Structure 1
Amino acid sequence: MARSDRLLRLLQTLRTLPSPVTAERLAEETGVSVRTVYRDIEGLRAAGAIIDGETGFGYRLVEDMALPPQTFTRTEIEALVLGLGEVKHTGDEELARAAETAFAKITATLPERLQLQAVHAVNRIYKPLPPAEAAVDMAFLRRACWEEQVLKIAYVDGEGRQTERDIWPLSIVYLEQALILLARCCKRNAFRRFRIDRIAGASVTGESFRPHRVSLLREFVAQMIAEEGARPAG
């Protein structure tokens, strides 16, 4: 591994793990020797990172030279903690891990007083019932949306009937107890909402619908808002 990549990995580990973190733990997390950790800590310090601690006591990242300083109000910090906590609870493994690293990066740029406010935030997320588990890889669905790839899906409706159809995946919506894939259905030539826990399988067709995702999603959202507004009150 190149030294620059190794230093970045060590820096991210210092951001993420509770401090103080020992050189042994850092070595375990980064896959290098303890002696290399000692050298790399000095390398990070020489590059501008302020790292408290020493051999035998553990280390704490005080100031991160790789990220610009950030200033948030206490309420903004609470909002960030609450939002990232929601992602950690409702998201799949990849999203939950991203929320954790994002929190570490954000707090690493805060002055120590604000770091303490983030760690000891007043607002917390607690939801004993997670959303219905998806049968398909959520990272795969996200990539298909990002890259505007046409998907072939096997979908099971509420009565247990399974159909196959090609779709243009547009967005993933997180509801209280379900995940919804907003898509353009090629079979019906219309917008559809697919419960992700009812998608039995999905694969790429090799076709692309680029560059239509943004405009189609805007149209779909406008349609949903109009439908919601047309419903009778009460």
Structure 2
Amino acid sequence: MTIHNRTSFLDRVAENLGRERRTEVKSPSYSVKPQDRVFQGATQDELIEKLEAQCRIIHTSFERTTLAALGDSLQKVLAAFEGSRKVISAGGPRLDEFGMRGIYEALEKEGFDLRIWNDQEGDITFAEQAGVGIVFSDITLSESGTVTLFNDKHNGRSISLLPETFIAIIPKSTLVPRMTQAARVIHEQEQKGNPVSSCVSFITGPSNSADIEMNLIVGVHGPVKATYVLVEDL
């Protein structure tokens, strides 16, 4: 996206405010940071325990596996989604990092109709028809049971929004205590010159909503089922 007349516009705003235009704004430094004390010092294994406990609250199934057993774990999860033979998956480098290509080839031999998202015509239509969407979590918040997705050409939002069920593959290395640390990771990546996707999705289990009487309804405007598959990658 191109920004036009930015400098002249900001100069005019500053002039109308009766001050010089500020070219750099620094974040304030607070002496008290209670947000950093939540789960402070927790190990990755302790964060996994908190994540698993939170999954029970947000109506999300939880599986724990290793890289070597990931294929078997996925087959087990897909078997629980009866009738869901059409699967769409995020693409990108993690397909090779986690040996997903071989896993997907095995699933296709078992009769699964599988498509890898590549930002091409037909991806969205396939996602609408798919019973299962598979994504990889970029940052995982243990406190809330939230997976963070950096949506890009390999990872369309439709993968986790349109199918009836979705599976989030969670590398153990992506676990952080809560939103405080997730925002910090994103900010640090930007400071290092590694631009994060312009669209970042925070997804907490299956879709749900509650009316004014706080009666929870699961599956109102998106997936009605969700499974997190945590992979030991450390």
TM-score band, normalised by shorter chain: under 0.3
With a CA cutoff of 8 Å and minimum separation of 6, indicate the structure with the bigger relative contact order.
2
Higher Cα Rg, which structure? 1
**Normalising by the residue count of structure 2, what TM-score does the alignment of the two structures yield?**
0.23
Which structure has the highest helix share of the two?
1
